[in-house]
Amino acid sequence: MLEGKGVVESSDMPEKMQSHAMQCASQALDLYDVSDCTNIARHIKKEFDSFYGAGWQCVVGTHFGCFFSHTEGSFIYFCLETLNILMFKRA
């Protein structure tokens, strides 16, 4: 497991939720190859939908741009290994 190796670039989530997001991403990387971004994102999204309620969005990759609205307290952008991970709950 890769716990402790994630770097939060930006977030308005509570710290406990940030830790949960990085833990979910680490678990996904244990299950899927780093190049399987779709299944990594699906794994993280399903965990957050189950734990915090439906409506979560997750983007995983090495290069992407985005612009979105989100529910306050639900945004995180972090790096884990070579991947950038963006999560938010839609507004």
Structural domain for 17, as ranges: 7-89
Q: d(Cα 43, Cα 70) in Å, to the nearest integer? A: 20
Q: Is residue 47 part of a domain?
A: yes
Closest by Cα among 52, 51, 32 to 42: 32
Domain count, the chain: 1
- In a domain, residue 1? The reply is no
pLDDT in tens, 8-64: 999 999 999 999 999 999 999 999 999 999 999 999 999 999 999 999 999 999 999
- Whether 70 is in a domain gets the answer yes
Residue 58 lies in a domain: yes
CATH number, residue 25:
3.30.740.10
Q: What is the pLDDT of residue 81?
A: 86
Token look-up 């439906």 returns 54
The sign of the torsion formed by the CA atoms of 45, 48, 53, 55 equals negative
Report d(CA 18, CA 75) in Å as an integer: 9
Q: Please check whether residue 14 lies inside any domain of the structure.
A: yes
- Does residue 2 fall inside a structural domain? no
Give me the half-sphere count of Cα atoms (radius 13 Å) on the Cβ side of residue 4: 1
- Global pTM? 0.89
